[in-house]
Amino acid sequence: MIKKIYASDKRFKAVEFRKGLNIILAERTEGSGEKDTRNGAGKTTLIDVIHFCLGAEAKKLGLPLADIEEWEFYIDIIICGKSITAKRSIKKSNYIIVNGDIVGLPVLAEKDDDSGDSFYKNDDWKKLLGLCFFNLRDGLKPKYKPTFRSLISYFIRRGVDAYSRPFTHFRNQKTFDLQVNNAYLLGLNWEHASEAQEIRDRSSALKALNTAVKSGIISSQGELEAERVRLERVIAEETKAIDTFKVLPQYKKLQDKANSLTTNIHQNSNNLLVLRRKLTRYEESITAEIPPEQNSVEKLYAEAGVLFAESIKKTLDEAKAFHASVVENRKKFLQTEIAEIRHQMARVENDISASTEERANLMRLLQTHGALEEFSLLQAKLVEKRERLETIKTKLAELKNISNEQKEIKTRKLELDTKLQRDYELSRTNWEKAVALFNESSLALYNEPGNLIINTTENGYEFDVEIQRSSSEGVGKMKVFCYDMMLVELSAEKGGIDFLIHDSTIYDSVDSRQRAHALQYAHERAEEHGFQYICAMNSDMVPYEDFCENFDPNQCVRLMLGDKEPTDSLMGFHFELKKGATVSSE
């Protein structure tokens, strides 16, 4: 039970609650409306603050976080029979400081060594509230399970979408979340709802796989088999190559040596070519070196009728001797050069032969041995191919199992339907009471009782409610009212959550007589069964003329708010409304 809500900033309007009916009344000025871009009196903001105190993430609410960064909010509340005060700040929202009778709570608080404060981290705080309000045990095994934040949102509905259907509290709520949490609240076997979602998940996955195969997005069974055969052959060959692979420790040095020998051979071959060309020129030159005839000059002049003197003849003989000497020396030089060239050629040819032989030996060694890096690379590539093969085998197994799993899914659905039917009967006492309370609530508002309908199918639970004239928007809102009243009464009787909070949205478009009946009924049931009904309403929505004479709603007003002046609002100032904030199953 909530006793009080207040804040560290004195502008905030503190509010105290009691057992029974508690009304937050807002005076609306002329011209203000639901579509204003600024906050009004603060009815919805109060619900946001309560959600925040009970573990909701601040960023998912409509609070003006930038304006209240230094604020701390307090809630005086009774949980697990103990009266405590919990403080949660905007700046350090993960820590909830608690005071009061905290000894013996099912989740132990931690102690701050510096301040001495007892505190809970937010996850532990939600765990404690889940235990105290809903007996929600930690460590539930199913994948899909009830959560505190989703369960509490049926008792503190927030936003227009929360009032559209009794079984959902936010737009696009998942089927499993709806089934699991409502089954838990109604005392049904919620684990069957979790299993139903798991079956739907697997069925959807199989359908997606079938569609992908048919559309060519993923390979067919035949294509995968062909790939498997190819990979197995390649893997066998590469495995054999690795098994016979010989690692040469000095592979890199020997490889560099072979490359160096190749370079040397190429250089020597080029040198040998130059020497051969030089040898050819020298051999041609020595052949061309022929001395002239001894008397050729005298004969030439005698034929011309010219006779040389003895002194001139002596000079010519000397010239002839000199020329003959030059030719002879030239031949000897060329012969020496030719001999040297042939010697150089022999040396180069020997060097080429030796380098070629050494390189051949190195290449034979390199061909029969490999480098460690090459060996590691071969191993890595083989591992990749084996992983690819395993992936293909897994996909093949999945494709082969599609038919079997489809049959298994059908079997599981039939088995689930059987279990649902069995447990439906076993939990008859629980759901019959829920049905009876819903009938009673609806009868208090209308001439004929409505019906809470719970069906079991192979897809899990199906929930519905019926009230005459249910096509009316106002009657649709009263379905939510009747369902929620049933939930809080069931919970309060079991020692669980004992408060229900509605925003003014639930009374929009509702006939004034039904509003009057609803408020009176909530007051009577809350007083009788020891719970709180807290509702926020605009002053012009209070149906004073339709109440019974002995009922005065003004006695139940716990807080008056206004939107004429900023100081009249809950927060004490106006701020821009945050659009799109929703409370979901966190």
**pLDDT grade, residue 181 (50/70/90)?**
very high
The correct CATH number of 2-149+495-568 out of 1.10.3470, 3.30.1460, 3.40.50, 1.25.40 is 3.40.50
Specify the pLDDT at position 585: 47
559-582 pLDDT, tens digit per residue, is: 999 988 889 999 999 887 665 454
Taking alpha carbons only, the member of 406, 456, 458 closest to residue 197 is: 458
Contacts of 520 (CB under 8 A, 6+ apart): 547, 548, 551
The Cα 407–Cα 578 span in angstroms is: 49
CA atoms within 13 A on the CB side of 330: 16
Could you report the per-residue pLDDT of 43-70, keeping only the tens digit for each? 999 999 999 999 999 998 888 899 999 9
Provide the percentage of residues in the chain whose pLDDT is more than 90.
43
Give the model's pLDDT for residue 289: 65
Q: What is the pLDDT of residues 367-425, one digit of tens each?
A: 655 555 655 666 777 788 888 888 888 878 877 777 677 788 888 888 888 888 999 89
Q: Is the whole model's pTM more than 0.75, yes or no?
A: no
Q: Where would I find the beta strands (DSSP E) of 273-420?
A: none
Under 8 Å between Cβ of 122 and 96: yes
Closest CA to 83 of 70, 94, 99: 99
**If pLDDT is split at 50, 70 and 90, which confidence band does 583 have?**
very low
Phi first, then psi: give them for residue 110, nearest 5 degrees. Answer: -90, 165
Mean pLDDT of the chain: 84
What is the enclosing helix (H) or strand (E) of 452?
Answer: strand 451-457
- Edge-to-edge strand ranges of the sheet holding 499-502: 499-502, 532-538, 20-27, 557-562
Crossing angle between the packed helical segments 428-445 and 473-493, to the nearest 10 degrees? 130
Instruction: Write the single-letter amino acid at 160.
Output: V
Highest mean pLDDT among 191-200, 309-318, 380-389: 191-200
Residue 37 in contact with residue 576, Cβ under 8 Å?
yes
- The answer, yes or no, to whether residue 9 has pLDDT greater than 60, is yes
Cα separation, 296 vs 287, in Å, equals 21
Residue 70 tokens read as 């230094």
Any idea what the Cα angle at residue 256 is, between residues 250 and 260, rounded to 5°? 140
The residue among 354, 375, 400, 348 whose CA lies nearest residue 225 is: 400
SS3 246: coil
Q: Is the pLDDT of residue 365 over 70?
A: no
Kindly list the distances between the CA atom of residue 312 and the CA atoms of 308, 319, 322, in Å, as whole numbers in the listed order. 6, 11, 15
**What are 210-250's pLDDT values in tens digits?**
777 666 666 777 788 888 888 888 888 778 766 665 544 55
